[in-house]
Every structure is written in structure tokens, then in C-alpha cells.
Structure 1
Amino acid sequence: MNKIYRIVEKRKIWYAISIIVIAIGIFTMATKGLEFGLDFKGGTVIEINLGQNFNKPDVDKVIKKYSNDFQSNKVEKTHISIKSANLSNDDVSGIVKDIKAKYSKSNITNQESIGASIGQEARINAIKAIVIAIVAMFIYIAIRFEFSFGMAAIIGLIHNILIMLSIYAILRVSIDSSFIAAALTVIGYSVHDTIVVFDRIRENQKYMRREESGVIADASLTQTMARSINTVLTVVITLVSVYILVPSVRNFSEPILIGIISGCYSSICIASPTWVLIKNRMKKRKKLKISSDTEN
């Protein structure tokens, strides 16, 4: 066999990196909280048809006269969508009037208010969706493989979600429905990547029965690492291109980009070493039980 990467032996380094990032994120969340988008805290959504192609920064300057806390997205070539938690009806009228003075053919095509209670309900439903997805993944992996694989995969998934939340908290990026959709997408993608590694571990267990779990995991990671990294790189290149060239979907592509990178790191450096720890713990308990039964 070719050279084997000693990933499991260095698990303390990988765990330390993740713990530092998550600890900073939790501290930020505890002291400053998370920045929630309009979907989760309520506010006003307006869409304006400018009647012609336009420069988005110019329109943003107009909006900033009325609100410093807003999100704007260029929709197609002639429409702009504006979201803000603190726009009054007078502010909306002022924005439309100022934009119309600059773009004579412009007119408001949609205005919608989202109440705080609806935003709170959306938050609760988002959390439920993530929890259900994680539990379903655990059941699937536990049935397809075994309990230790399921537990390791769940720890990896929770790690990914915490990393995404921590980075958003540290960078003060707002969390909205796009983040939740991206998080669920990342959960499915990262589990697929983890399953590829676990499937190789299961196969190698048949041919490396006398080897320790750490050696089997390292061999399996070495065999699958190139595939995992190459797959992630192709996805990252695509997402970066979308992020740069399609600003209207940045709220969706940004968390996916973070999650995909975190998911690859998790599959290699978190899930597999965690499986080794769980597997070794289960073996010790089994030996203690056999020893106890023998003495009795």
C-alpha cells in the first residue's frame, strides 16, 4: 500500500481548530446575538421596476437616505428588491419618489409587510427542519452501517452547522430563509461525502481485521481523499463563479460555499476520527463486559 496519511493521529489538532472557531462564534452569539434577516425578524419588502437597466450602487445610495439596515438585490435587469426591518410607509414613498426622479419610468410593483410573529414562527420551523434532517440522517446511516458510524456522522453534521453559524456570527452576516435552505443542502451533501469514507472503512474492515480502527480509518481516508477534495473543488469553483457573477443569489451561494468547505473538512478530519474514538470506546466496554462475565 502507498503512503498513508495519518489523519486520525492528528485529531487533537483538527478538534482544536474547530473548537476555537466554534468557541469564538458562541461567544459572539452570547454577547451580540445573531443577525437575523427580514424573514425571521419581520419588516418590509418592496420591489421596484425601474423600466431600464441600472447601476445597483446608485440605487443603494438612494435607499441609504432612509435606512442603513437593508438588503437589496437586482432582479433581472430592470427590477430591484429591497428588504428592511425599519422602513415606514413614508420611507417607502420617499424611496419610490427619489428613484422615480432618477429613473422616470420606475414604479413600485410589490410591497409586503412581514410581522415579527411570522418571523418567529419561521425561525422555529427552520430549527425543526434542521433537527428532523439530522435525525433522519442518523437513522439512515445507523441502519445502513452501524451505530458508531451514525453517531460520528451526526457529530460531523452538528459540527458543520455550528461552523456555519459561528462564521455568520463572527462576520455579522444576516441569517434568513436562504441560509436555512443552504444549511439543509449542505447537510445532504456533507453526509454523502461522509458516507463515501464510511463505506470504504466498512470494506477495509473485512480485509484489515487485525488492524486497529485508527489504521483502517487512515487507510480509507487516504484512498478517498483525492476524490473528496476534487469533488469539493469543482463545486467551490462553480459557487465562487455564481457568487461573483450572479449577485442576486449570493444569500444562497454564500452559506453553501462555507458549508461545502466545512463539510469536506468535517468528513476527513472530524467524522472519521470521531468514529475511531466511538469504536474504540465500544470495544473497551465490550472487553470489560466479557471480563466481568468471565469473573462471575
Structure 2
Amino acid sequence: MKWFESPTYDFIKGQQIMYVVSGILFIGSIIAVLTMGLNYGIDFRGGKEFVFDFENDVEVTEIRSALTEPLGATPELKLFGSPSEILVRTDAEGDITVVQNLILSNLQELYPDNPVTVIKTDLVGPRFAEDLKMAAINSILFAVAVVFIYILIRFKGWYFSAGAVAALIHDVVIVLGIFTVIEPLVNFNVTIDQALIAAFLTIVGYSLNDTVVVFDRIRENSLIYKTMEFKDMINKSLNDTLSRTVITSLTTLFVVTVLFIFGGEVLKGFAFALVIGVILGTYSSLFVASSIVVELQKRASQPKS
């Protein structure tokens, strides 16, 4: 930990690199969301969800082909933690018990020597799903608005609020983009559901906590080093808080990684979002928020022509 005993790293000097890295990730995430679409879970789009447990391993492609005709459309299928557990999502019309029995009979016909049982069923109506979607969007927007007002009142500078909010939006959008891209590639649930919304709000809180610590040190240093250039004071404040930021992040990252590995299938998507969020939150606190504050303060202090 000698790197953090008396650090003198020039974080602001890497501002241009930060703009490139964050710009690529941010724009790439937006493009991924717009082109591939958000993969809403059963919570937000309505429909039926089943988890079937087989005695032996099965093939997802075989089951998808076998269920497409009976259900009238290609269902969403993926492994649910192990090669013998299958998650099936469908918008097929009819009573959930009828749809479940229809799927179950086709699975038994497909695998007559491989016993199957239903371990989970879920049903969400479209009206409830739409209301839930709006509530999730409103909760995130409300959290961001409260953060902006809180930072504005506490640090008495609109550029601090803008930097903090930009960092939060940066983190949430990139997590959304990553989840959109990796959804077909992983065998655990990364759909947009209530658990993921909770993860987003947790990421907002974590990132904000790191950012406020840095801003607090900036405020303290502004009173001590009144003649220091603003950019240099930001850099000194980042170095002053670097040890605390890194240790806190590594500790949190260790905990959420353990949760991801050992927390069970239901928590994997939630925990994976937190793993990405902790990494992005630390990065955005050190580079994104501070760089935007420096840029906006420089522009605000320029004399108007």
C-alpha cells in the first residue's frame, strides 16, 4: 500500500484519456440499448415465467425448438444456474396453469427418460408491469434530482452538482449497456427487473458517497489553500482521499463478488450489477466527476465577453 502513503498522482492530467474511455463506453452503451433493446424481465413487460428442473442435463436449443409451435411464438429460454435447470419466459395467452401444463407435457415428450419438475412460476399482468416500469423510472429520476439539489446546497456550486449527476448517469447507463450486450452470453438472469432497479439505486448511493467524500476534501482544501489554482486543489483532494477510496472500494468489491459467486441464482444479476457498479463508481469519482467540475468551473470563471 506504499502507492497510497503520500500519493501525488496527476488525475486531472488524464482528463483527455478519461473523455475518450468514458465517451466510448457511454456512447457504446446507448447504441447497444437503442439497437438491441432493453431486455425487460417479467416484472416490466407482463407474461409468464417458469423454471423447470430436470434430473439430467438438457439442451436449450432443443427445448426452444420443441416449444415454439405449441406456444405460438419462440419463447425466451436460458439455463438457470445449472445445465439441468431451464428458465422459460413466454407471452402465450391463456391461464398460467394451462400454459404450464402445455410446456410440461411437451418437455416430457421431448425427454421421456429425463424426469422434470416445476420449481418456479410467475405471472405479471401488463397493466401492473407498465405501472411498475414508470415507478422504476420515476424513482431513479427522483434520486438523481435529490442528489443534484443536495450537492448544490452543501457545496454551493452548480458545477459540483453537475459533476456528481453526470457521474451517476455515466455509471447507470454503462451498466445498462453492459447488461444489454452480455444478456445472450451468460447463463444467469440479467434482465431488467425489480432486483436490478434496486441495484441501480445502490450504485447511485455508492457512487455518490465516494464523490461526496472527494468534494468534502475539496471544500476543506479551498479554505486552507486559498491561493492554489482550482485544478491543482482538485488534484490534491483526490490524492488526499485516494487511500480511503481504494480501500473502501476493494472491500466492497470483495463482498459483492462473494455474493455473486455464492449468493445463489436469484441474486446473481443483482450482485453482478453491483460488481460493475463498484468499479465504475470508483472510476467516476476519481475521473469523471472531478474532471467535469474542473471543466465547468473553468468555464464559469471565464469573463463574459
Query: Structure 1 length normalisation: TM-score?
Result: 0.81
Question: Matched residues in 2 for 1:46 and 1:101: separation?
Answer: 21
Q: Distance in 2 between matches of 1:167 and 1:145?
A: 33
Structure 1: state its 5+ residue gaps: 75-79
Which is further off, 91-100 or 175-184? 91-100
Alignment of 1:214 with 2:225, yes or no, is no
Counterpart position of 2:44: 40
* Equivalent in the alignment of 1:145: 155
Residue 195 of structure 2 corresponds to residue 178 of structure 1: yes
Match of 2:166 among 155, 164, 168: 155
User: Number of paired residues?
Assistant: 276
- TM-score after normalising by structure 2: 0.79
- 1:117 positional shift: 3.4
C-alpha contact (below 8 Å) 2:55/2:114 kept by paired residues: no
Cα displacement (A) at 1:69? 1.2
Cα deviation per residue 1:179-227 (whole Å; 9 max; x = unaligned)?
1110001101110110011001111111111111110011111111121
How far, CA to CA, are the matches of 1:248 and 1:204 in structure 2?
45
How far has the Cα of 1:171 moved from its partner? 2.2
Cα RMSD between the aligned structures? 3.0
Q: Taking structure 1 as reference, are residues 70 and 119 closer, same or farther at Cα in structure 2, changes over 3 Å only?
A: farther
Q: What is the rounded CA distance, in whole Å, between the counterparts of 1:33 and 1:45 in structure 2?
A: 20
1:30 aligns with 2:34: yes
1:205 corresponds, among 213, 222, 225, to 222
For the Cα contact (< 8 Å) 1:193–1:264, is it kept in 2?
yes
What per-residue deviation string (whole Å, max 9, x for no partner) do you get for residues 29-86 of structure 1? 22222222211122113467x7xxx879569799655375146757xxxxx8955134
**Secondary structure at 2:38 match in 1:** coil
- Deviation of 1:94 after TM superposition, in Å, equals 4.4
8 Å Cα contact 2:9-2:239 kept in structure 1 = yes
Distance 1:55 1:242, change over 3 A: farther
> What letter matches 2:127 in structure 1?
S
User: Pick from 101, 106, 112: which aligns with 1:93?
Assistant: 101
The 1:249/1:159 distance shift into structure 2, 3 A limit, reads: same
Displacement of 1:100 in angstroms is 11
Identity %: 29
Query: Structure 2: any 5+ residue segments left out of the alignment?
Result: 68-73, 184-189
Residue 77 of structure 1 aligns with which residue?
A: none
